[in-house]
Each structure stands twice: as structure tokens, then as C-alpha cells.
Structure 1
Amino acid sequence: MWVADALSRRYALLSILDTKLLGFEYIKDLYAQDSDFGDVFNACEKVAFGKFYRYDGMMAPKDIVFDSETMWIQLHNIPLGGMTRQTGLKIGSSMGEVVSVDVDEEGIGWGPYLRVQVNINITQPLMRGIISSFNGSKVWIAFQYERLPNFCFCCGIIKHGTTGCPEPAAARSMHGKYEAQYGA
């Protein structure tokens, strides 16, 4: 948390100083090579990266597009023999761009689930899971999103809660009873 806060404050300071001092571009170039923050700084050059967005002071806030978010997702119900980096990459790529798979140095995941970090499109409904095949058997792999922000249990969109859903009728079953597709 401290690193993220430091990154935001440090970049804000650089942006402010850049508008006030001529030639400050040199220090910003050094920042892009920084061992602690360089990866995040470079990743958010054109789009938001997690909670960060590079702002040059000339863009209107309404023009900044926040349509993706990097999240950790737990993949539940994977057979023990399938708890590998390759499985995480395969399943994670069905959700978006895989950033990381939480496995040991041998590429094996240990624990009750496999974790993948994926940059997902938040303008689309979240995936609840996927059917995958392991040794000829089809298995439902349920997804559990970690630290999920404001989320609609009716339509699966992150941008609004259940009370602000533009399509609450989508949560009604064949019997006319309210059934949230994404839990309660």
C-alpha cells in the first residue's frame, strides 16, 4: 500500500514540477528506469494500469478511459495435477491479459486454489467460471475475484451496484422470482 501511495505522490510531484521547470523531462526519464516504480510507470503510459494513470496535465478528466483493471482471481476446483503455470495462463487468458500466475519456481501452485493476476475489461460482465478439461474429464472452474470493488450482482458489471443496475430484469428467473446471477 505504501509503495502505491508513494508512486502516486511521486508522479504527481514530477508532473507539477514538469510544468514549472524547463528541462525537467530528464528526471522523468530517470523515473521510467527506476527499479521500484519503472514497470508501473511504463505500463500506464497510454492506459490505466491498476489504479494508476499517467496524466500530463493537458488531458481533460472526461477523456481518461478506465475500461480495464488488474485483479487477482482465484481459480477453484482445479484437480491437483492441473495446479500449474500453464493451466493458470490458459484459463486466465480467457478472461483477459495474464499478468502473473501465483506458482513456485517449478511452476506448481500449492493450496486450495490457483491464483492468476489478469488485466480484465471492466465494461463487460465478469466471468463466473469456465468449463475446462483435465485428463478427459470436464470440470467447472469457479472464479473468485479478490478485493472486488463496487459490483452489480444482477448483471456482473463492476461500474455500478445492484441498486443502480440499468437491467434489473435480467436477474429474474423463468418463474418471475428475483435471482441474482452473481450471488447475493
Structure 2
Amino acid sequence: MRRTKLTNEEGEIIQVCPSQRDKILDECSRSLFGKFLKNRLFNQQAVKNILGATWKFGSDLKIIDVGEGLFQFKFAMESQLTWVLNNGPWSFDNYLLLLRRWEKGMNANTIKFTNCPMWVRVWGLPFELFSEDVVSDIGRGIGPVVEVDCKGAASDQAKFLRIRVEVPLEKLLSRGSKIKGLEGEVVWVDFKCERLISFCFRCGVLGHEVKICAATGKANTQENQYGD
């Protein structure tokens, strides 16, 4: 648009006065916008049927195709929207569904999806480091921290700690990290993401699987670097 030379008429500003502004803002405030990570045309009715049946909100949920591969999910209650966000990630036909809350000024051309919230299990922590603040520090090394679950540390099966992190989509999935304690000791901890969908265990990228990975067949990438 910046390179387009506007005519005099196009350069004029049109004043708009939405008569149902409050109602529209209320609906938008209870809306999520979603897009599948892999660009592909989906049958709108099939998406509605599957997600509607999975979320089980009945007529309280409206799913609208707003163009550019983008769907708007309108909920009747804030609690329904929150439940969907807290219980993701979701998928359709093994394609990851990215979700974002509505923000003022969004449209189908400007909305961007840069992160996906995922639960990450942290394995291999020294016992003296089993704490919420430690796993929060580790989580911030992956991405913005959403939630920490330390119930395991207080139970009779404290094998790992869980943290929900906004995983950056443009980066390879992290398999683990070196961490350094207050006394200078350095240890390696493993990361295991829960409910991995449409993930390539060869190159570590979200959005495709090994069978269609561009690295397949290259001499130095024969083994799956992220497990079997």
C-alpha cells in the first residue's frame, strides 16, 4: 500500500459511525482467531464439525471463515474461551491450530502467529533444584512463561517438572539446555514437549513431518535428531 499512489478521492478519509459498536466489541472480546500452521485449504464445514464436537459448546460457539485461511471463534462466555486456550494445543487432520486472542485493530491481513503455548517437561534436574523459581528460569530460556506446574515436586512421583511456555515457531524445538546453579555447577536437562503435533523428528521444525521433510535423503541428516 505504501508504494501505491492514491487518487484524490482515494486519499480522502471516510468517517464511519458503527451503530452496534458496543455489541461488536463485546463479541470480539470473547473471540479467538485461529490459523493452521501449514498452509492448506480446509473444508470449512469439516473444521466446524470436528472442533465443535471436540470443544462441546454447542450453539455457544460460532466458527466463521474470515479469509486468508483464518477462522474466528466466537464464544458465549469468557470461561469457554479460557478453557480452549488453557487446554491446547489443538489440531485438525494432524495440522496444528494456532490461536490468538482478539486485539483492537486486527484484520485478516495483519494478524501474525509467532508462538504456540506448549507444556514442556523438564527432566534431569538435580534434586536440590526442584522448585518453581528454577523451572521458571529454565522456561524463560525457551520463551515467555505462561504457567508453572510443580505438583510433581510435592507428589510421590517427582520425576520431572512441567512448565507452559510460548514456544517460538521460527526456531527449532529445543531438546534441552545446560543450566548453571548458584555454586557454579553446570548440568544438562532434557525437554520433552507434550502433545507434539505435525512435528518433524528429523529437523526439529513444527509444521511438517519426517515423511515430507526437505532434509530427508541428505547424507548428514539421515538420523532423526529428535527421537524415533
Calculate the TM-score normalised by the size of structure 2.
0.54
The CA deviation at 1:167 is: 3.1
**CA distance, structure 2, for counterparts of residue 166 and residue 102 of structure 1:** 36
* 2:172 is equivalent to residue 125 of structure 1: yes
The match for 1:149 among 176, 197, 215 is 197
Equivalent residue, structure 2, for 1:67: 114
Contact kept, 8 Å, 1:67 with 1:122, in 2: the verdict is yes
Give the strand-richer structure, 1 or 2. 2
**CA distance, structure 2, for counterparts of residue 8 and residue 69 of structure 1:** 26
- Match of 1:101, SS state, is strand
**CA distance, structure 1, for counterparts of residue 219 and residue 102 of structure 2:** 39
- Match of 2:172, SS state, is coil
Equivalent residue, structure 1, for 2:216: 168
Show CA shifts across 1:90-149 (max 9, x none). Answer: 000111111111125xx9555100110111112321000000123432111000111111
The match for 1:84 among 104, 115, 131 is 131
Q: Bigger radius of gyration, 1 or 2? A: 2
Alignment of 1:1-184 (within 5 A): 5-6=55-56, 10-12=60-62, 31=77, 34=78, 36-37=79-80, 39=82, 50-51=89-90, 52-53=99-100, 59-60=107-108, 65-104=112-151, 110=155, 111-134=158-181, 135-168=183-216, 172=220, 178-184=222-228
Show CA shifts across 1:17-55 (max 9, x none). Answer: xxxxxxxxxxx8x94xx4x246569x8xxxxx8554457
The CA deviation at 1:64 is: 5.1
- Match of 2:200, SS state, is coil
Q: Which amino acid letter does the alignment assign opposite residue 147 of structure 1?
A: R
Equivalent residue, structure 1, for 2:42: none
Calculate the TM-score normalised by the size of structure 1.
0.65
Provide structure 1 residue ranges, at least 5 long, that are not aligned to the other structure.
Answer: 17-27, 44-48
Q: Which amino acid letter does the alignment assign opposite residue 180 of structure 1?
A: N
**CA distance, structure 1, for counterparts of residue 201 and residue 187 of structure 2:** 24
- Size of the alignment, in residue pairs? 154
Quick check: 67-76 or 4-13, which moved more? 4-13
Contact kept, 8 Å, 1:132 with 1:139, in 2: the verdict is yes
Contact kept, 8 Å, 2:89 with 2:195, in 1: the verdict is no
Contact kept, 8 Å, 2:175 with 2:191, in 1: the verdict is yes
**CA distance, structure 2, for counterparts of residue 7 and residue 54 of structure 1:** 18
Identical aligned pairs, as a percentage? 27
Quick check: 64-73 or 125-134, which moved more? 64-73
Contact kept, 8 Å, 1:84 with 1:109, in 2: the verdict is no
The CA deviation at 1:160 is: 0.4
Quick check: 161-170 or 79-88, which moved more? 161-170
Q: CA RMSD in A?
A: 3.8
